[in-house]
Amino acid sequence: MAATRAACENQMHNLFHQIFGETETLDELNPAPPPPPPPPGARTVVAASDSDDDEQLRHVGFGMAAAPPAFTGNLKKALAGLRRINLDGLRWRVFDAKGQVLGRLASQIAVVLQGKDKPTYAPHVENGDMCVVLNAKDISVTGRKMTDKIYYWHTGYIGHLKERRLKDQMEKDPTEVIRKAVMRMLPRNRLRDDRERKLRIFSGSEHPFHDRPLEPFAMPPRQVREMRPRARRALIRAQKKEQDRAAASTKDDKDEEEDKGKKMLEVKGKARKKATLGDRKERLIFNKHGMA
């Protein structure tokens, strides 16, 4: 039975060679169709296998490029909601928050998100650009806002009004500080959610958008008006008063120290006088009893 089967296979193999020539297998005759091309705008992620030579490619339909190895944050959170944004024709503006004042930076981001920097701006049309904010942990504030500014929110339960200072919020999540500042500058309408999706904030300098045509945003210079002569004279007088006050306080401190030193000397002198008087009395009493 086995010999008959082997003979049949040999005959079929010879017949196959006579018909198709040097082709040995049906796979070579009918090769598998090539894999379908990836959808437009899809990113290609390289997945490392056990061997270094073998690499597998898979297509992910986020419309974004593969994240560089340097990005160690939450990639899912960084790419969330990008599918719902039409990225065609949008510019990718990069804001460096290091050393920038919170309010001035937030106002510029709000302008770009609304598209007010474009000649085609319309309040009912969403034509703002993508905004990538870096180094949120290095933002700066003026005055005593770091300790005095307080964020309030309510959980919905009776008596559960919560509060958190700006300093504590910076330690917990610095990206939320910039997000709140920007979103509170945007109008509350139907375009608000789309604009919020275009805002991507990162606490450090790492981000997963290196494959995009990034454009650094140059902050406009501060328009500081030259001080008027009267205000300048008033400032000089105030500085002089402050210096006089500091000098007077140091002089008062020196006088107090001198008074303390004099009082200590007086106390020591009185103690010495009391000691000498006591010694004299003891001598007189001894001499009196001795004479007796």
List Cβ neighbours of 135 (8 Å cut-off, separation of 6 or more).
96, 97, 98, 202, 203, 204, 205
Residue ranges making up the domain that contains 132 = 75-216
Is 276 part of a structural domain of the chain? Answer: no
Mean pLDDT of the chain: 79
Residue 287's region, left for phi above 0, alpha for psi from -120 to 50, else beta, is alpha
Backbone angles phi, psi at 142, to 5 degrees: -95, 160
Is 241 part of a structural domain of the chain? Answer: no
pLDDT for position 59: 38
Is 135 part of a structural domain of the chain? Answer: yes
Kindly report the CATH number assigned to the domain that includes residue 153: 3.90.1180.10
pLDDT for position 54: 39
- Over residues 134-155, the pLDDT tens digits come to 999 999 999 999 999 999 999 9
In the chain, how many domains are there? 1
Q: What is the pTM of this model?
A: 0.56
For residue 208, give the DSSP letter. S
Is 197 part of a structural domain of the chain? Answer: yes
State the residue for tokens 């500042």. 181
